[in-house]
Structure 1
Amino acid sequence: MNKPGQQVIGRLRQMILSGELASGQRLAEIPTSEQLGVSRTPVRIAFRTLEQEGLLTKLSGRGYIVRQVTQLEISGSIEVRGVLEGLAARQAAENTLTTEQTEELIALLKQGDALFENGNIDEHDLTQYHDINQRFHQIIIEASQNPAIAEALSRNEHLPFASVNALAFDRNNLKQEYRRFNFAHMQHHAVFDAISKGQGSRAEAIMREHANATLGYAKVFSQMEESGEKMQVINTKNSPTNLTQ
């Protein structure tokens, strides 16, 4: 899929996740494309993709409606993904990576390093990270040599935010998103290290935790940022300059 298409999907996911697009709200191609400033084609593709992910329901006439998605539904589907991908990582470690798999994983890690080295990201970078992330996970699943894992993941992907491709990001808070996705990338380094050393249990534990990184930690980093802002206000109030006023 082209980059504008990925960006539209990511923005609509985030709007649903944040509640900006409320449960039961009707969506149509033309007003949505006008709101996002894009053509109707990427919006049409996004609607179909989000329907497959369980976030939208197609109406009998034209358009879609936003499904009601509970936090319990989201956390449950992510937990299942973590278990499946954790198993894949453990079996990949037990099987030993091929030379080709090792080289490609290292190349993907280097691409991610370059993406985050400047200390900030933009929407284009997040689209690139999507591709890196997708391929990284795919290689580990292939390295497990267990077709049942891929089959089970395929079924689970129809649940909200369960797919590794279902990245949502807040384009209005890129500082927070940098922290979140850079942390997820560091977990890629850790799981590769465990797999390459044949440490199956460690690889499984990291991969299970990693399932929460790109979605579940959004609130964590948001709370950290809010706490930091509050501390900054307190420190400013107690600064020598203010104490003399």
Structure 2
Amino acid sequence: MAEREADRSVSQTVRAQLALRDLILSGGLRPGERISELQAVETTGVSRTPVRMALVRLEEEGLLEAIPSGGFMVKAFSERDILDSIELRGTLEGLAARFAAERGVSSRDLEPLKECLNEIDGLVRQDPISVEAFSSYVALNARFHALLTELSRSAPVIRQIDRASALPFASPSGFVMAQSALPEARQILLIAQDHHRIVVDAIENREGARAEAIMREHARLAARNLRLALRNRTHLNLLPALALIKSAAAD
């Protein structure tokens, strides 16, 4: 009975965490805006204890900041914050790719990655690429990165990549939708897909250093997307969370 209650509490915490995160990243809560436990309870429909835990988790993710007088405040981020998070994720993904290459991966294990690449090929062949195709790309890109990480066969590395990807805007597809309306959009996706194919080839040929280098370079495309997205804030409807990021001039 006690175990069932504990599971239910965890489930409620996750539900509240996801709901509040979506509210922040959709622009429902603005940078500097205060959110109290009571407000979060009313917003999520979850009781106070799991809500309290959810708020703490969002503070650990970096989306919220605790206020000494009580409650939490939505954080704003500098470009440097985001760039550092992207670089951290790229470093860890590079390590995962190197482990996969050096430890060896069977053709059977690589098959899901290659199937994912073929599906992405079908999207990036479009010219221009539709917003719907970009949305599909986000899901396929997330799947590719998850499959690649699993090939490392390293639980500590997988865990740290999950943590790094949860940092604000650091996930592999963090800025893809924001770039979808830009002139450079298709070019960037083509480069990203080329990186995907090169890293799979490097892993297949057991070239650890090459696999690591390409994944670190691949993450830097997200930094390029960040700069493009911030330069074109007219497309905030595609990524309302851009409002959380201070421009370099405001740092």
**TM-score normalized with structure 2 length:** 0.62
**Number of equivalences:** 191
Q: Is 1:74 the counterpart of 2:82 in the alignment? A: yes
Work out the percentage of aligned pairs sharing the same amino acid. 34
Q: Is the 8 A contact 2:63 2:75 kept in 1?
A: yes
- Backbone CA RMSD of aligned residues: 3.7
Rounded to whole Å, the distance in 2 between the matches of 1:172 and 1:104 is 26
1:177 maps to which of 172, 185, 193: 185
Rounded to whole Å, the distance in 1 between the matches of 2:90 and 2:224 is 12
Q: Is the 8 A contact 2:138 2:173 kept in 1?
A: yes
Q: Is the 8 A contact 2:172 2:222 kept in 1?
A: no
Q: Which amino acid aligns with 1:75?
A: L
Rounded to whole Å, the distance in 1 between the matches of 2:223 and 2:201 is 23
Q: Which amino acid aligns with 1:152?
A: Q
1:137 maps to which of 132, 145, 153: 145
Rounded to whole Å, the distance in 2 between the matches of 1:67 and 1:167 is 18
Aligned to 1:209: 217
3-state SS of 1:144 partner? coil
Q: Is 1:23 the counterpart of 2:7 in the alignment? A: no
Rounded to whole Å, the distance in 2 between the matches of 1:218 and 1:75 is 8
How far does the alpha carbon of each residue in 1:109-138 deviate from its partner, in whole angstroms, 9 at most, with x for none? Answer: 111111011222122111211121111111
Q: Is the 8 A contact 2:175 2:229 kept in 1?
A: no
Rounded to whole Å, the distance in 1 between the matches of 2:155 and 2:145 is 14
Gaps of 5+ in 2: 1-21, 36-42, 45-53, 232-251
1:107 maps to which of 115, 123, 134: 115
Aligned to 1:126: 134
Gaps of 5+ in 1: 1-8, 28-39, 42-47, 224-245
Q: Which moved more, 1:130-139 or 1:173-182?
A: 173-182
**TM-score normalized with structure 1 length:** 0.63
Aligned to 1:37: none
Rounded to whole Å, the distance in 2 between the matches of 1:177 and 1:113 is 15
Q: Which amino acid aligns with 1:153?
A: I
Rounded to whole Å, the distance in 2 between the matches of 1:132 and 1:172 is 15
Q: Is the 8 A contact 2:179 2:229 kept in 1?
A: no
